[in-house]
Amino acid sequence: MNTDGLNLIILGPAFLAGLLVLSTHVPLGQQVLRRGIIFIDLAIAQIAGLGVLWAHAMAWEENALTIQLTACSAALLGALALYFCEQRWPEILEAVIGTSFVLAASAAILILANNPHGGEHLKDLLVGQVLWVDLNQLVPVALLYTLILFVWFGFGAAHRSVLFYILFALAITASVQLVGVYLVFASLIIPALAVRRFGKYALLAAYLLGTAGYAAGLVLSALLDLPSGAVIVWMLALFALASSLIIARLTGMSTGVGKE
């Protein structure tokens, strides 16, 4: 046990980053589940990450804006290609998404083949470094997410495919750089999955569950001195499992988990 890390200055920015990510990813995740395109975030996140790596490889890293524009363009292109695929060949969409993920991941290895820090960049992209986040980094993301949430709830983006894909790409591009692919996937899918039987309280319940997962994960990672991102993923899953069991008991179903 180690209580050194239990300090708001240390855990606070990471927690705020988590809240920001949850704010957009919970409603997006519910839509992802409804559409049955679970792995789309892995594909889009990997494509956005590929954009970042490409910008680095072209030595554009002096300009942070160029990097963000490259990442967003890459993610948007990927998302629109997937949207086109959904319209044209809905029956093979999931297979195309999976293939795009593998292609983007392999392309990253090729881009980094001549970079002595290649392995680190690849790992950073996946695991993320949520504890390194500082408050200044959160400001542009907060602005972007306010805009996304405004369009999402104001214009009913959930029901318009094109808008969904665009907002999804922008949200993921920002979050994957803050917290990494694993946490992005967990924030999208796990709360949405846990609350799918909660009816009209689903969104609120998913937000609460996500917040509890991040808070517990950060505190536990401080106490056990383990990498925070991975502990948060596990806490999100444990809270989701517990709430599924509770709701199953309450609604009188014998086994609520894994049974659709």
CA distance 159 to 184: 22
Counted residue by residue, the chain has a size of 260
Q: Terminus-to-terminus CA distance in the chain, angstroms?
A: 40
The residue (of 117 and 160) whose beta carbon lies closer to another protein is: 117
CA 88 remoteness from chain centre: 26
Binding mask 70-89 for another protein (x = CB under 8 A): --------------------
CA distance 193 to 204: 13
Binding mask 89-118 for another protein (x = CB under 8 A): --------------------x--xxxxxxx
Would you count residue 125 as binding another protein (CB under 8 A)? no
Would you count residue 8 as binding another protein (CB under 8 A)? no
Out of 2, 62, 259, 260, point to the residue binding another protein (CB under 8 A): 2
Contacts of 227 (CB under 8 A, 6+ apart): 127, 221
CA distance 205 to 208: 5
Question: Measured from the CB of residue 113, what is the shortest distance to another protein in angstroms?
Answer: 6
The residue (of 73 and 137) whose beta carbon lies closer to another protein is: 137
Would you count residue 119 as binding another protein (CB under 8 A)? yes
Q: Is the Cβ–Cβ distance between 239 and 212 less than 8 Å?
A: yes
The residue (of 20 and 194) whose beta carbon lies closer to another protein is: 20
Question: Measured from the CB of residue 36, what is the shortest distance to another protein in angstroms?
Answer: 33
Out of 9, 159, 252, 254, point to the residue binding another protein (CB under 8 A): 9
Would you count residue 222 as binding another protein (CB under 8 A)? yes
List the beta strands (DSSP E) in the chain. none
Would you count residue 227 as binding another protein (CB under 8 A)? yes
Q: What residues numbered 130-159 form the site for another protein, per CB under 8 A?
A: 130-132, 134
- Neighbour-count burial for 27-50, b at 16+ CB within 10 Å, e otherwise: bbbbbbbebebbbbbbbbbbbbbb
The residue (of 19 and 203) whose beta carbon lies closer to another protein is: 19
Virtual torsion, Cα 156, 162, 167, 169, nearest 10 deg: 160
> What residues make contact with another protein under the rule CB under 8 A?
2, 4-7, 9-11, 13, 59, 109, 112-120, 122-123, 127, 129-132, 134, 218, 221-222, 225-229
